[in-house]
Structure 1
Amino acid sequence: MNNSKIIFRNCLILLFLLQFSINQEIYAQKKKEYLVTSFGAVADGKTVNTKAIQKAIDAAYKNKGGKVIFSKGKYLSGSLILKDNVELYLEEGAVLLGSINPDDYPKYQEIRALIIAYQSKNIAVNGKGIIDGQGRELALAIDSLHHTGVRIDPKYNYRRMRPEDGRGKLISFVKCDSIVMTHITLKNSPGWVNCFTDCRNIVVDSMKVESRAYWNNDGIDVNGCENVRITNCNVNTADDGICLKSEVPGLENNNIYIANCIIRSSANAVKFGTGSYGSFKNVTIENITVFDTFRSAIAIESVDGAEIENIKVSNVTAVNTGNAILIRLGHRNGDKPGYIKNVSIKNVKAQIPFGRPDIDYDLRGPEVDYFHNPFPASIAGIPGHSIENVILENIEIIYPGRASKGMAYHPLSRLKDVKENIKGYPEFTMFGELPSWGFYVRHVNGIEMKNIKLILDKEDFRPAFVFDDVKKLAMKEINVPSDKINQIVFKDVISDNLDSESLKRKTEPEQNKFELPVN
């Protein structure tokens, strides 16, 4: 066959392939389905498909919306920009792999992530496939580039020997409206996994998050959003599991529902904060299972001026978890402290271990740097700014005991010396050694505790409850170990209502209330 015939044949083949591709695209546009392979994506896990996938997204967007489909295979990509009325759909067996080249993640509207949406409406990420950011590999590549001088990170953390800049998130949606994410699996982010900032009308259901690749691997972050529903999710992360944030003043969280989720974390399971500049209002959290979690099952924190109110938490089971409940009003930033009021926490069962609960994580939470006994749950405001109107009902917590005065000792005669730590990072360990083993409550105006059962695995020399600067306290049906006396300690408590008859103890009722002199 001569050269002219070969050239003619190849031209026919190319023409056929081009026409086939055009026909596929026309057919896809009619059905509003866009296979990324029809736009040149190669599912070999090696070819960088950023341009091809973005071309499919853009085609769907220009055709007033559609479904961009990833069929079975591995698709390597850098940053993708999701646009109005476009759904990313990963079929079972499809994997979207994040590139490990930091140059593949340029900022878009100051956002760095694998999947980005900015001011988009009616967007979705669905399907039984996987989005894998290869976050550890990316972070280590960034680390290497910094140390070789190729790409200097001005924010490099030399104490922890980890890069700060350039890692980005797995998914970041900013100022978006009407978002749906269902059944998708998110893995191995270089930073926060799935972050919604200043968004409205979000539905997340049956999503799995498995991200222990590096530090700052928050699972689901809701940062100043309204009308949010997160249900039936399974979250396992090397930082906070589901976290409500308000990173800058003006970001308001309102009308949020979180339910039927399973969470494992080397930090907190469900957390408000730490960034807490705006507000958190009308939040319902229910039917949550927590296990092997380093910090708190439920942490509600306002330390940057945030207004937190109308919070309902119920039906929480936490096993092998560092702390059951933390409610903290502090004043780290802002012109004045915020407030926390109208918080109801009901039907909680928790088991606190003696050792660290995240020991099986390869990326464990940072232990405190001082000797201490096991910590109680804490509800603490600051002088002049009390937490208001808290209801705790049907709470059962098993504590490890084994406290020793040789390890640490804070005598009851020196309750005034418990650190206020007004500007401190909010955590249940932030006050240092505490004088109780069950609950430590300070600077609270209005708290009702009903049907509270505290159990010790081993002996603890401290009392179960310490109340300091508390007004309008009501306690009913309090169940503490029967062989202990002086289990409830009051200092500067006004208008207490302690139902001695319902205190389930073998000792005399008057022994349960131990008044400290006012200093």
Structure 2
Amino acid sequence: MLKINPKLIFTALLMSLFLFGFESQAQKTTKNPKEFLITNYGAKADGKTVNTIAIQKAIDAAFKNKGGQVIFPKGRFLSGSIVMKSNVGLYFEEEAVLLGSTNPKDYSNMAFVGRPISPKADDNSQMALILANKANNIAIKGKGTIDGQGLQLALNIDSLHHAGVAIDPKYNLRRNRPNETMRPKLFRFSQCDSVLIEGLKVGEASCWGLSFELCSNLTLDKLTIVNRSYWNNDGIDITDCKNVKVVNCDINAADDGICLKSYYPGYSNDSIYIANCTIKSSASAIKFGTASFGGFKNVVIKDIKVYDTFRSAIAIESVDGAIIENIDVSNIDAVNTGNAIFIRLGQRSGDKPGSIKNLSIKNINVQVPFGRPDINYDLRGPEVDFFHNPFPSSIVGIPGYKIENVSLENITISYPGRATKGMAYIPLSRLNQVPEAAKDYPEFSMFGELPAYGFYVRHVNGISFKNIKITLDDTDFRPAFVFDDVQNLKMTQIDLPKEKSSQVVLKAVTSSTLDEELVNQKLKIQNK
């Protein structure tokens, strides 16, 4: 019998208590003993003068004052890297714009000393327009705009490489662009506590947008994020942070919308609350595990609208040894989105695989189109480079390491159909043809052609489907569900297209409970 970890029952209550406590801290962050107007320190609002020194003088003055608010008045202020200090806030008045310099020399590469040793954290850029390292009680808010001018900045970095002035040793020849380590982010915050980012329009970086690493008590609220100037344009990246709230944000990103990463063994993203956000992405809307060395636990994701998104609405991945547990996803409405749900336990790196357990996914409505959902992006995610029929949702572990304890409830997915054996075909007698791909980069297309149109489930112990409706816009020769090496399967209230037989395929499935109406649509494949 499937049992959901009791911790999931109390997740919403725990998060509410956390948010109540953190709100008090966020309110403290906004208190401001003195204002420091950047124009009083020499900043020019002409959009041409590089104001890095003037803005930094204002920040430093507020810091020496034991706290204060640095004011950006109406105007366009050009700057290179500026460094936040403890007890300092930046406030942007209406029509105030901070422009990132397009000169690569204007960006700092801070050492960020004192971080735990990580095998991969330095594989992404340490540069940014706004930097913060071990700064506490800081805020960036207001009614203005922060624009990284990332396209021109990236092109200038590219030109310096080709001119032999600043060679990129990892230059991507295949994709004709500088490596992401050479391109500044918009924000780069490390080991900070009590951070509030609120109310602004931000984005257009040359790399990731808002990046937070090893931070605690972080709130991102009412942000409009448009980050689609260049490659690797994630919206928000949260790495091994604790007590995080991302709410009321509108995100349009050329790469992942909200991406949780874990670079540090022994650390994790813990107590993360993401709610009331709208996301458009040329990759995945909400994703965890591109880097998955530590862990992800006690995560609540709810009330999310996704549209025109190329890859997954929700992707949950552990491929570098991370422990993922106690994840609660609910109320997701995704239209024109390439994949609904992708859950993957693999072993790309590390001595042994991690684990994924105790996942609750409910109240999900996804419409998957036949064509590419992000066709209107100038910078589109890389095409799937093989012929394939439309991909199902997939929940896949590896031999000997099963995903555990997954509950899916109240889920509707509309698939396009139009699958044809002439495009790609895996007969049900050859389910072992689907590769394990244990060491591959995690992505919903990683297994190649899949033998189901609705859900493909492999190497799982404890999975429940309740009140699931799957529709087809056109015919599909594949069954709706394929289960391979699955224990403790339960399916109730399953609504499938009526014209097909053998909708549920079981191979090496033990301890299964299926609704009576599914029994006649079940096909058992014997172990070979």
TM-score band by shorter chain is over 0.9
Aligned to 2:307: 291
Q: RMSD across aligned C-alpha pairs, in angstroms?
A: 0.9
* 1:458 matched residue in structure 2: 474
Amino acid at match of 2:281: S
| 1:59 aligned partner | 61
1:184-263 to structure 2, matched below 5 A, reads: 184-263=200-279
**For residue 437 of structure 2, what is the aligned residue in structure 1?**
421
Q: For residue 164 of structure 2, give the secondary structure of its aligned residue in structure 1.
A: coil
Gaps of 5+ in 2: 1-31, 113-125
- Residue identity matched to 2:510: I
Aligned residue type for 2:48: K
Measured in 1, the distance between the counterparts of 2:267 and 2:106 equals 30
Deviation at 1:510, TM superposition (A): 3.7
Equivalent residue, structure 2, for 1:411: 427
Query: What's the % identity of the aligned pairs?
Result: 63
Q: For 1:442 and 1:273, how far apart are their aligned partners in 2? A: 19
Shift of 1:517: 1.4
Tell me what 1:132 maps to: 147
Distance 2:408 2:131 in 1: 40
**Separation of aligned partners in 2, 1:31 and 1:487:** 66
Correspondence 1:294-305 to 2 at 5 A: 294-305=310-321
1:257-306 Cα shifts (integer Å, max 9, x gaps): 00000000000000001100001000000000000000000000000000
Choose from 99, 112, 136 the match for 2:127: 112
2:522 is aligned to 513
Deviation of the 1:168 alpha carbon: 1.7
Give, as a single letter, the amino acid of the residue that structure 2 aligns with 1:122.
N
Quote the residue 2:397 is aligned against.
Answer: 381
Match of 1:143 in 2: 158
Distance 1:510 1:226, change over 3 A: closer
Residue 31 of structure 1 and its aligned partner are, at CA, apart by 5.3
Equivalent in the alignment of 1:481: 497
Instruction: Report the counterpart of residue 84 of structure 1 in structure 2.
Output: 86
Contact 1:109/1:118, CA 8 A, preserved across alignment? no
Q: Distance in 1 between matches of 2:203 and 2:286?
A: 19
Q: Which amino acid aligns with 1:215?
A: W
Corresponding position of 1:15 = none
2-side partners of 1:38 and 1:166: how far apart? 33
Could you say which structure has the greater relative contact order, defined with CA pairs below 8 angstroms and 6 or more residues apart? 2
Kept in 1, the 8 Å contact 2:33–2:67? The answer is: no
Q: Distance in 2 between matches of 1:398 and 1:516?
A: 27
Aligned equivalents of 1:310, 1:511: Cα separation in 2: 35
Find out whether 1:495 has 2:504 as its counterpart: no
Separation in 2, partners of 1:290, 1:89: 30
| SS of aligned partner of 1:140 | helix
Q: Which residue of 2 aligns with 1:395?
A: 411
Shift of residue 499, structure 1, vs aligned partner: 1.3
1:97 match: 99
Per-residue CA deviation, residues 331-355 of structure 1 (Å, 9 max, x unaligned), is: 0011110000000000000000001
Structure 1 ranges of 4+ moved more than 6 A: none
Report the number of matched residues.
483
Unmatched runs of 5 consecutive residues or more in structure 1: 1-29, 504-508
Match of 1:308 among 324, 336, 343: 324
- SS at 1:482's partner residue? coil
Measured after TM superposition, the shift of residue 415 of structure 1 is 0.5
Structure 2 match to 1:352: 368
Distance 2:83 2:251 in 1: 25
Give the aligned partner of residue 20 of structure 1: none
Contact 1:223 1:251 in 2 (8 A): no
- Which of structures 1 and 2 has the bigger CA Rg? 1
Amino acid at match of 1:518: N
Which residue of structure 2 lines up, in the alignment, with residue 71 of structure 1?
A: 73
- SS of 1:372's equivalent? coil
Residue 14 of structure 1 aligns with which residue? none
CA contact (8 A) 1:248 1:275 kept: no
**C-alpha displacement at 1:213, in angstroms?**
0.4
> 1:243 touches 1:270 (CA, 8 Å); kept in 2?
yes
Q: Which amino acid aligns with 2:41?
A: F
In the other structure, the counterpart of 1:24 is none
